[in-house]
Structure 1
Amino acid sequence: MCNAITAISPMTTINYNNRKFRSVENTSNGDVSGETLFHYRQKGDAVWATYEGGNIHFGTLTAKVGADNHLEMRYSHVNTDGELKTGKCHSSPKLLPDGRLRLHEKWQWTGEDQSSGESIIEEVRE
């Protein structure tokens, strides 16, 4: 059995609808942690999600699915310090050996703090 994480074929169409994800890695300037749960929805090439937990009181994201299943998104949330934060993100999917999705993300804050970072979120199954 292969334990490698694999790229997803451009011929494959991912349906993000009703998938849930948790952060497994994030740069230190990010607010999301392993306690943050994302719940994705999809209609056509439009994807949206809500997220909360850890340092996130509540957040939303809106994305468009690209031809290679990547997501171009914008997000906003209120953290537990009461700050409203916004950003943009490019998310690339990979397939884990057990069939779950892993999203590799490159993001940037769009408020006063223009710093950027990288994170990884993985699909969770209940």
Structure 2
Amino acid sequence: MEKINYHNKRFRAVMNSDNGEVDDQTFFHYRQGGDVIWATYHGPNIRMGTLTGIVNEDGTLEFNYQHVNLDKKIMTGFCKSTPSFDSDGTIRLKEEWQWTNGDLSKGTSEIVELVEKDNFKPII
């Protein structure tokens, strides 16, 4: 797989397990420097979230995430994302994650790259 530069890429969640807090109105703004990635995210269930991680040699992403939810709880977890390209060339990340607090459950999610015509909702 070709190396992907995630710097200033924006994504929207399109699928998540029932035990997750991300939904289809959750937006992510990725940054990258070398093999280090970081992002901010927010949505109806998440007041503010951040992630920090690494782009591996095989193209997968590994990162820790944390966010403050609507109940003012700080939630944390670990995720491994596998990139692919949709037919229109946009990036899709298939994610396997696990909470590292709370019930420690696991789940899966997918996020897709936003294109110019999509509306990115900034953090207010």
What TM-score does the superposition give when structure 2 sets the normalisation length?
0.91
In 1, the alpha carbon distance for the partners of 2:44 and 2:24 equals 7
**Is 1:37 matched with 2:15?**
no
Aligned partner of 2:89 among 79, 82, 99: 99
In 1, the alpha carbon distance for the partners of 2:43 and 2:102 equals 23
Could you tell me which runs of 5 or more consecutive residues in structure 1 were left unpaired when the two chains were aligned: 1-8
Residue number in structure 1 paired with 2:11: 21
1:53-93 Cα offsets, whole Å, 9 max, x none, are 11010000001000121101000000111110000000000
Contact 1:60 1:77 in 2 (8 A): yes
In 2, the alpha carbon distance for the partners of 1:97 and 1:28 equals 27
Residue number in structure 1 paired with 2:98: 108
In 2, the alpha carbon distance for the partners of 1:74 and 1:64 equals 10
Q: CA RMSD in A?
A: 0.7
Q: CA deviation at 1:94?
A: 0.5
State the identity as a percent: 52
Pairs within 5 Å for 1:18-97: 18-97=8-87
Contact 2:75 2:102 in 1 (8 A): no
Matched residues, number: 116
What TM-score does the superposition give when structure 1 sets the normalisation length?
0.90
In 2, the alpha carbon distance for the partners of 1:114 and 1:68 equals 27
Contact 2:64 2:78 in 1 (8 A): yes
